[in-house]
A and B are shown apart, each in its own frame.
Chain A
């Protein structure tokens, strides 16, 4: 009986981990490319989730279908934010301060987005997972697998594959990788570094939107709840090793499993404590991440 519960929580953890990994993807990308930390990542995702919620309730558009509009919109939003906030900060500050400035700027952005969301959608929890799927879970032996979780995991795996293909198989991806390895040399080779930065920032926002909508398939959310998702995204990135795309998904699944198993064995409130404890242990023992290279 206990064994079944643990297997069940591992399965749940894998499904949840897909979303964690998806959130981590955007954070990892922008950190790798331009050493900027995006503390507004989950706030952006939540905004997209709210848009898809409104699309579903007002216009009855399927959340996954609304991504067709949301992804380009958030891509453009990301580029605009880059142009308005990140690039001016880069011009003003030295490299060391740039990391701090992006942290503060995106943190400020998350506060702004949070209150905008509270203003338009209220501070109460929102959820539509119940209306959305007719078959909510299917059974494999004694184990239940949530349909919406499986969809989210599929979206995450698809996004990882797409990003990996983009980075490995296209000239654009090559330019992105070159920029992240060495900015000066990349610009000497004719890469338009600032253009790549802007593109990456747009992509980060689009990935955030994708993750937010995937999250909204499974979980209830409210504006103030975005912060813990951002933190988890960063923890995933640290676990997987910064700059490792596949590592991010693996880190997400690892975090999801350990949280779920942890909260089965321990009281539920220790769920977030488990995440922080893993984070602190990993950076004490292996700061480059579990799958990262030094």
Chain B
């Protein structure tokens, strides 16, 4: 039995929590964690498999969230349908940024993506007619869902989103496409010699990543019931998937799953017990420590440990 089977079976079991009488705080905590698993999984498609660090995925997330909120606010289109439209717009942004920058080294790409959330929030603030500027768009909520059933409904939706993302990542990892991406990460020139159209594949991966991120953003808009520049274009939202993926292990589908769950538990603990101004301090320190001490993440540490154990057994 493979790890992915364990994951699918386990998630299927988790689905039952939505219909059982689960305490609301458990559902809410898990729903957000699931969203981050999927979000990190989509970041991993670019940052992990190709090794191009996107430091502004929050902007793609936010573009979609704003699309959903605006479509609801002005045209009353239910936020249950529009995440896909939002995801489409996120994908368009991904193409516009990815096409020029992904032809070059990761350095340029990181820079362009890093500037995206800042620019996006600047633009949002300067078109108050459409976006209501810094106050944000309130009351984004699907009318189809009864108020009391909201936690259960969003739990189910984010669970589905997470399973979708993990399965796509798993598929990519074991496909020709995914092997191409990893070849680009290892040695771009050699990959090109082997007949891989590196630019095209990188842009495709970034598009896919943008689309999946957009779904999360679109769902998050109506989950939170409001969208404001600080809630979607803050730097912490962009850092979070980076951190979660690196913490768990880059370039593996399992990495973001481990990382997101670990960091979400840690973060919840911190935000209750430590000063909130130190939130980014903790994230920064975790990032530095992980890169220095365990660049392959928790999964890397575990597999190394297992290998050492198995190896020792083999010798005796």
Contact A115 B277 (CB under 8 A): yes
- Complex Cα distance, B108 from A111, in Å, reads 20
| Min CB–CB distance B113 → chain A (angstroms) | 10
Q: A174 interface residue, CB < 8 Å from B?
A: no
- Complex Cα distance, B246 from A107, in Å, reads 13
Task: Type the 1/0 row for B66-105, where 1 means its CB is closer than 8 Å to any CB of A.
Answer: 0000000000000000000000000000000100110111
Task: Type the 1/0 row for B268-293, where 1 means its CB is closer than 8 Å to any CB of A.
Answer: 00000001011111011111100110
From B243, which residue of chain A is reached at the shortest CB distance?
A108
Q: A137 interface residue, CB < 8 Å from B?
A: no
Of B120-128, B171-179, B218-226, the stretch lying at the interface with chain A is: B120-128
From B52, which residue of chain A is reached at the shortest CB distance?
A100
From A86, which residue of chain B is reached at the shortest CB distance?
B292
Assuming the A-B contacts A100-B106, A103-B110, are A85 and B288 also in contact, with contact meaning beta carbons closer than 8 angstroms in the complex? yes
Assuming the A-B contacts A105-B291, A108-B288, A267-B126, are A238 and B108 also in contact, with contact meaning beta carbons closer than 8 angstroms in the complex? yes
| Number of residues on chain B facing chain A (CB within 8 A) | 43
For window 200-245 of B, CB contacts with A under 8 Å fall at 235, 239, 242
Contact B277 A279 (CB under 8 A): no
Contact of B126 among A93, A268, A281 (CB under 8 A): A268
Assuming the A-B contacts A37-B107, A272-B122, are A107 and B280 also in contact, with contact meaning beta carbons closer than 8 angstroms in the complex? no
Enumerate chain B residues within 8 angstroms of A108, measured Cβ to Cβ.
Answer: 283-288, 291
Contact B55 A93 (CB under 8 A): no
Q: A258 interface residue, CB < 8 Å from B?
A: no
Enumerate chain B residues within 8 angstroms of A93, measured Cβ to Cβ.
Answer: 295
Q: A276 interface residue, CB < 8 Å from B?
A: yes
Contact B100 A283 (CB under 8 A): yes
Contact A114 B53 (CB under 8 A): no
Contact B287 A111 (CB under 8 A): yes
Contact of B281 among A115, A235, A280 (CB under 8 A): A115
| Min CB–CB distance A283 → chain B (angstroms) | 6
For window 106-124 of A, CB contacts with B under 8 Å fall at 107-112, 114-116, 118-119, 123
Enumerate chain B residues within 8 angstroms of A89, measured Cβ to Cβ.
Answer: 291-292
From A43, which residue of chain B is reached at the shortest CB distance?
B284
For window 223-253 of A, CB contacts with B under 8 Å fall at 224, 227-228, 230-231, 234-235, 238
Task: Type the 1/0 row for A89-111, where 1 means its CB is closer than 8 Å to any CB of B.
Answer: 10011001101110111011111
Q: A273 interface residue, CB < 8 Å from B?
A: yes
Q: A292 interface residue, CB < 8 Å from B?
A: no
From B47, which residue of chain A is reached at the shortest CB distance?
A100
Enumerate chain A residues within 8 angstroms of B278, measured Cβ to Cβ.
Answer: 115, 119
Greatest chain A CB density within 10 A among B279, B286, B291 is at B291
Enumerate chain B residues within 8 angstroms of A287, measured Cβ to Cβ.
Answer: 103-104, 108
Q: B26 interface residue, CB < 8 Å from A?
A: no
Contact A273 B292 (CB under 8 A): no
For window 292-307 of B, CB contacts with A under 8 Å fall at 292, 295
Contact A272 B284 (CB under 8 A): no
| Min CB–CB distance B283 → chain A (angstroms) | 6
Contact B288 A272 (CB under 8 A): no
Contact A273 B123 (CB under 8 A): yes
Contact A228 B115 (CB under 8 A): yes
- Complex Cα distance, B31 from A248, in Å, reads 47
Contact B285 A231 (CB under 8 A): no
Task: Type the 1/0 row for B236-258, where 1 means its CB is closer than 8 Å to any CB of A.
Answer: 00010010001000000000000
- Complex Cα distance, B155 from A13, in Å, reads 51
9 contacts between A and B (CB under 8 A): A101-B291, A101-B295, A108-B286, A109-B288, A110-B284, A115-B280, A224-B235, A267-B126, A279-B115
Q: CB within 8 Å of B: which residues of A?
A: 37, 39, 85, 88-89, 92-93, 96-97, 99-101, 103-105, 107-112, 114-116, 118-119, 123, 224, 227-228, 230-231, 234-235, 238, 267-273, 275-276, 279-281, 283-284, 287
Extra inter-chain contacts (16) besides given A101-B295, A279-B112, CB under 8 Å: A92-B295, A103-B107, A104-B291, A105-B288, A105-B292, A107-B239, A108-B291, A119-B278, A231-B114, A271-B122, A272-B119, A275-B115, A276-B115, A280-B100, A280-B112, A284-B100
Shortest 6 CB-CB distances between A and B: which pairs? Answer: A111-B284, A269-B126, A108-B287, A115-B281, A112-B284, A108-B288
Q: CB within 8 Å of A: which residues of B?
A: 51, 53, 55, 97, 100-101, 103-108, 110-112, 114-115, 118-119, 122-123, 125-126, 187, 235, 239, 242, 246, 275, 277-281, 283-288, 291-292, 295
